[in-house]
Amino acid sequence: MKSEPAPHGATGQNRRIVIAALGLTQILAWGSSYYLLAVLGRSIAAETGWPLSVVIGGLSLGLLAGGLASPTIGRAIDAKGGRSVLAVSSLLLGGGLALLGSAQQLAIYLAAWLVIGVGMGAGLYDAAFATLGRAFGSEARGAIVSLTLWGGFASTVCWPLSAWLLDRYGWRGVCLVYAAAQLGFSLPVHLLLMPRAQPRSNSGRIPEARTAYPFACGQRHAFVLFAMLVTFGGAIASIISVHLLTFLQMRGLDLATAVALGTLFGPAQVTARLIEMTFGNRYHPIWTLTAAKGLVGLSIVFLLVGIPLIGIAVITYGAGNGVWSIARGTMPLALFGPSGYAILIGRLALFGLLAQAISPSVAALVLDRFGADVVLSGLAAMALVNAGTTAALWISLGRAMRSDQS
């Protein structure tokens, strides 16, 4: 079966410059939004007197807004390419951060997170993957994998930077510095270096005939299966990301030791992505997906066991989460082809971001009432659902390939 070539004009772009430029803006976007409150949360609560749960709830509100906006964002990227959408994300993130840094009332603070959240939906991985898929078509897999390597350094770069800025300028100064960086750096990078794409005349629908494999059970069934993986994967990732240090401390570690073990997450994530980038082109992305779900499931089992497997659990989870970011971008491209890829990514992002917005708060309530074992058991149950869903995709893909050969 023939795959759709890269759109006209995209192949003339210097791919390395595009990926490097987008990688730098991804580091800044993640660090000034998703990872921001990990450093600033307690300082904001201490200065304003707002409860920490409400302060952290701003991020959940932002993720909710980003999720609701994602389908529209995906359609916009499919219609016109990602250049203008990414530029708008820089404007939204810059304006939202400026509003956040000047917020004196809680209502203004939460409104700022709504703006930041839409900027996250228009500027983080899902929008970036859609941009690369729209620009490079069936050749986008390598670009997506390379981009995740850059994104893997977001917390490594921005957590220390945010802490340094916090010590010198306070949390409001941190927000204003990041706002200036979005407007002064990311905005011109997106406008000047992102690839231009010809508008589509039939934007807004995904042609049934353009799927990469003629699924015997239908394109809708394949979409539902992958949407389940995105939903449960997003829930697991957000719960572990927010509560990992709590889990480690509930397993008997002091805070300093828990933080030291937590630093293993980033290197494990990047190492796994380097391995996938080296060998992944030899295999269908479903192997990457299977490895991701298997590693994440194992990490949850290790956390349930506790000492002496806690360090291994952090490394295993980091590796699994690292390759899951790749599978999330490359599997839809392999399953459905490049036509309508941006629309698909936007629809899938809705499920993932909604799960990320809701699940940490629910997990916090369960942690307070029932403890870590109950939360981890729930995570294990979700991991089992992911394993079954991945197996169903394997079966569907096998049937489709046999049907295609016959």
The string of DSSP codes covering 167-196 is HHHHHHHHHHHHHHHIIIIIHHHHHHHSPP
Do the domain assignments include residue 10?
Answer: no
Q: What is the pLDDT, as a whole number, of residue 216?
A: 39
Percentage, residues of the chain above pLDDT 70: 89
Q: Are residues 58 and 91 in the same domain?
A: yes
**More confidently predicted of 177 and 354:** 177
- Same domain? For 286 and 377 the reply is yes
Whether residue 88 contacts residue 194, with contact meaning beta carbons closer than 8 Å, is answered with: no
Q: Which pLDDT belongs to residue 201? A: 53
pLDDT at residue 217 is higher than 70? no
pLDDT band at 283 (very low <50, low <70, confident <90, very high): confident
Domain end (from 170, 193, 216): 193
For the chain, the C-alpha Rg in angstroms (whole number) is: 21
* Rounded to 5°, angle at Cα 208 from 355 and 386: 30
In terms of domains, do 181 and 41 share one? yes
* CATH code assigned at 155: 1.20.1250.20
Please return the burial class of 1, using the count of CB atoms within 10 Å of its CB with bins 0-12, 13-18 and 19+: exposed
What single letter denotes the amino acid at residue 49?
G
d(CA 139, CA 169): 44
Residue 2, domain member (yes or no): no
pLDDT of residue 400: 62
DSSP state of 153: T
Question: Considering the domain boundaries, does residue 98 fall inside one?
Answer: yes
Q: Which of 338, 320, 335 is nearest to 132 (CA)?
A: 338
- Over residues 338-361, the mean pLDDT reads 85
Q: Of the ranges 4-8, 66-70, 76-80, 338-342, which one carries the lowest mean pLDDT score?
A: 4-8
Last residue in a domain, options 134, 161, 193: 193
CB count within 10 Å of CB 143 equals 21
Domain assignment present for 393: yes
One domain for residues 300 and 401 = yes
Q: Are residues 41 and 89 in the same domain?
A: yes
Q: Is residue 232 in a domain?
A: yes
**Taken in order 256, 262, 266, 267, is the CA torsion positive or negative?**
positive
Q: What is the pLDDT of residue 308?
A: 79
Whether 7 is in a domain gets the answer no
Range of the domain at 149: 15-193
**198 domain residue, yes or no:** no
CA distance 393 to 217: 10
- Examine residue 9 and state whether it is found in any structural domain, yes or no: no
Query: Do 168 and 286 belong together in one domain?
Result: no
Please check whether residues 252 and 359 belong to one and the same domain: yes
The whole-number pLDDT of residue 56 equals 82
User: Of 169-183, 300-314, 382-396, where does mean pLDDT reach its minimum?
Assistant: 300-314
Same domain, 182 and 330: no
pLDDT of residue 192: 93
The tally of domains found in the chain comes to 2
Of 167, 90, 73, 208, nearest in space to 127 by CA: 73
pLDDT band for position 264 (50/70/90)? confident
Q: Are residues 31 and 101 in the same domain?
A: yes
319 or 402: which leads in pLDDT: 319
- Max mean pLDDT among 176-190, 309-323, 387-401 falls in 176-190
Q: Given a cut of 70, is residue 184 above it in pLDDT?
A: yes
Q: How far apart are CA 181 and CA 244, in angstroms?
A: 30
Over residues 301-320, the pLDDT tens digits come to 998 887 778 888 889 998 99
How many other β-carbons are positioned within 10 Å of the β-carbon of residue 2? Answer: 6
Q: What is the pLDDT of residue 218?
A: 57
Query: Taking the chain, what is the end-to-end CA distance rounded to the nearest angstrom?
Result: 12
The secondary structure of 90-139 as a DSSP string is: HHHHHHHHHHHHH--SHHHHHHHHHHHHHHHHHHSHHHHHHHHHHHHGGG
Average pLDDT over residues 122-150: 87
Do residues 298 and 395 share a domain?
yes
Eight-state DSSP code of residue 301? H
Split at pLDDT 50, 70, 90, the class of 405 is low
Query: Residue 1: pLDDT above 50?
Result: no
Regarding whether 302 and 257 lie in a shared domain, the answer is: yes
Residues 340 and 255 in one domain: yes
| Model pLDDT, residue 369 | 83
Of 234, 199, 204, 221, the closest CA to residue 125 belongs to 234
CB distance 127 to 82 below 8 Å: yes
Mean pLDDT of 19-23: 93
Burial environment of residue 175 by CB neighbours within 10 A (0 to 12, 13 to 18, 19 or more): buried
DSSP string across 241-281: HHHHHHHHHHTT--HHHHHHHHTTHHHHHHHHHHHHHHHGG
Read off the pLDDT of residues 81-93 as tens digits, 9 standing for 90 and up: 899 999 999 999 9
Q: Which amino acid is at 378?
A: G
- How far is the C-alpha of 295 from the C-alpha of 332, rounded, in Å? 21
